Structure 1
């Protein structure tokens, strides 16, 4: 089990990790060893997530989501398979945690009449101050 939040965790069977060749540092070894981790997580068929979390996760995933609803995360920051595997899993956990957090419902409000009046008065006062700065006494 991979813990995401206090109330949510995903099963290890829900993710699949394959290793692919990665560019970057590694010298001659880079062309021989498959150290980059490619993680796949099927959002639509996941029993761990509820409907709203799945919708938010698909929206948040963006280009990482395939047409079939599978999130693909490629991690090649590190030289070792284990470090890249941990990095990919951590990035998936961050995505799922962000999707699991339900945003607070915001009731749109309008400024009160007094607030509008105060804003206009402050603007007039500021404009008057600026106008007084530019006025110069006449040298008659």
Structure 2
């Protein structure tokens, strides 16, 4: 009898192990994902976004895409144009948050940028007056990403967008073709009315001069 009980217990144990193996087998067969492909996809996405933004800026500067041609075609804002400091980030970064100095703080002294026209500088000061220090320095920061290089590029992109907006602000807006056509027609019609009025006045004068007085 004890042999029968031992055999049944062994069968139950074996069956339980088989069930456990069957339940965990799909997970065991799947390869463990690594962070490298995700990081590679993330970097590729950033590169594509940066390339698209650069193409858009170039297209606007050249007057492509149906928009008006900009008054100035300025160079991009680079690291040489700013002062950069790094501090601990409270944003994205995973294990780097509050441990590594990945936050980029950028100081852009607008007065020293001789390549930016004065009227563009005035437009930037007016639009971003809350970002300027008392010394006239534009301050920008970024802590969106996990590395110093990515946050620096993001801050420079923000500065570039501000400069671009300043150029667009001083660029005269193109008049709609239909409006131009309508104005020309009104001018032409006004000239015709004046000529017609002069002709009528001249005719009246001639008629009055032809009248003979019998008194």
TM bucket normalised to smaller: 0.5 to 0.7
Unmatched runs of 5 consecutive residues or more in structure 2: 1-53, 62-72, 175-215
Distance apart, 1:27 and its partner CA: 4.6
Counterpart of 2:102 in structure 1 is: 35
Q: Return closer, same or farther for 1:11/1:25 CA change in 2, 3 Å cut-off.
A: closer
Asked if residue 80 in structure 1 is aligned to residue 136 in structure 2, the reply is no
Which is greater in Rg? 2
Asked if residue 8 in structure 1 is aligned to residue 74 in structure 2, the reply is yes
Q: Return closer, same or farther for 1:104/1:34 CA change in 2, 3 Å cut-off.
A: same
Q: Return closer, same or farther for 1:11/1:74 CA change in 2, 3 Å cut-off.
A: closer
Q: Return closer, same or farther for 1:80/1:12 CA change in 2, 3 Å cut-off.
A: closer
- TM-score norm. by structure 2 comes to 0.44
Where 1:66 maps in the other structure, the secondary structure is coil
| More relative contact order, 1 or 2 (CA 8 Å, 6+ apart) | 1
Unmatched runs of 5 consecutive residues or more in structure 1: 107-140
Partners of 2:78 and 2:152 in 1: CA distance: 16
Counterpart of 2:126 in structure 1 is: 59
Distance apart, 1:103 and its partner CA: 4.2
Q: Which has the higher helix share?
A: 2
Partners of 1:12 and 1:83 in 2: CA distance: 13
Q: Which has the higher strand share?
A: 1
Where 2:89 maps in the other structure, the secondary structure is coil
- TM-score norm. by structure 1 comes to 0.65
Query: Contact 2:108–2:137 at 8 Å: present in 1 too?
Result: yes
Distance apart, 1:13 and its partner CA: 2.5
Q: Which runs of 4+ in 1 moved over 6 A?
A: none
Counterpart of 1:46 in structure 2 is: 113
1:21-61, CA deviations, whole angstroms, 9 ceiling, x for partnerless residues? Answer: 11134455322200010111101221111110111111111
